[in-house]
Amino acid sequence: MFVKINVASFLFALFVGLVEGSNVIESIVEDHEHSIGTKWAVLVAGSSDWYNYRHQKGSLKDEHIIVFMYDDIAYNSENPRPGVIINKPHGPDVYKGVPKDYTGKYCNSQNFYGVILGNKSALTGGSGKVVNSGPNDYIFIYYADHGGPGIIEMPVEPSIYAKDLNEVLKKKHDSGTYKKMIFYMEACDSGSMFEGLLDKGLNIYVTTASKADENSFATYCSPKDYEDTCLGDLFSVSWLENSDLQDRRVETLKKQFRRIRKRVLNNGTEGSHMMEYGDLHIHEDALSKYMGSNSPEHTSSTNNYPSNSRHVNQRDVQLLYLISKFQNAPEGSVRKSEAYRKLSEVISEREHVDKSVKHIGQILFGVKNGPLVLNIVRPAGQPLVDDWDCLKSFVKIFESHCGSLTSYGKKHVRGFANV
């Protein structure tokens, strides 16, 4: 159990890593030679630190698969199994053999854009691999990260804004270097990265873990030996497990969406609403076009995933991680006092950013109207904001005077957009 602290309803969170096991990604490798075009996969874990365990996982190996991961989890001092990363309770090691194309400081937005566009001259460090695709190729992008309204993180600043991401996708389309693209995004407020921004006619289909104004959730939390973390995200484990269990030559993107959305919503409690954007006709395509095919024998052997798990809001992950560290430390120990110090520090940071944003709203719009204005959600089909450059400037100014927003504080970007 976690200590109850009067700050928020504490829920675990961590979002899933690059891939829940090797089966889906390995079959991309096996299958691409039998298709008309080449299959490309860009897999991004946009977080660092142990409490973001679930973001940094994968098992893949091929010249057409490009991996972004900070890579500070496998040999982290807190890992109970050094050199091993799992993505479900009692699961196998999914770290061994993982190609690490862009790690550490090279796991950044500039390299991400360069990889998608096939622009090697834009890269700074890393393996140099890019999506060097042709007009008949299929591209699959999976992005797991912390997010806020219109923004998602990378371990190294700057963050990725929705407008910039959509401009990169449009530029990729204009280059004529792919046939179809699908983009799966796991993040809080992930719908806001495409709402009112992703043009039709780009041959891009997007599925997000949540609507433009809601959190996404973690799952497989507090398993044995990993009491202070979660192993996966609800959206991510759902589509990955579905991709293993179903015949991907028959299962379409549409069928997968319909099968897993109920699980991701979790009856409206501790769950989120999956969303679709872009050219929806693409969702009639079979999964095998993007993820490769699987054999009936393999499908039947993987039908033993845990059916029940506590699902938790990802925004409070660091806080809950620290609560667990505090509770589990011996009384009177240095570990106990250090855990308390860090926990108090994070609570103070959260309260500071909340109060600062609230104060700005009250100054601009009054004590009564301030909170109302800051929390306005625009109608469906409209982007978060019209002037993205102004929004970026606002965020920079706020952070220069009030401190970093952090993963938690980025929830206030909607308030800044409304201002």
Catalytic residues, by residue number, are 146, 188
Angle made by CA atoms 70, 115, 142, in degrees to the nearest 5: 60
| Dihedral angle sign, alpha carbons of residues 366, 371, 375, 376 | negative
d(CA 271, CA 312): 8
Task: Find out whether 257 and 274 touch, Cβ atoms under 8 Å.
Answer: yes
Name which of 137, 224, 148 is nearest 193 in CA terms.
148
- Please give the C-alpha separations between residue 78 and each of 50, 74, 229, 316, in angstroms, as whole numbers: 7, 9, 11, 19
d(CA 27, CA 33): 11
Here the tokens at position 292 are 């490769």
d(CA 341, CA 324): 13
Which residue bears the tokens 């855990």? 339
List alpha helices for 118-227, DSSP H.
162-174
Name which of 23, 16, 62, 27 is nearest 42 in CA terms.
62
- Please give the C-alpha separations between residue 25 and each of 124, 134, 215, in angstroms, as whole numbers: 26, 20, 27
d(CA 237, CA 241): 6
Q: Are strands 147-148 and 138-144 parallel, antiparallel or unpaired?
A: unpaired
Name which of 12, 16, 84 is nearest 232 in CA terms.
16
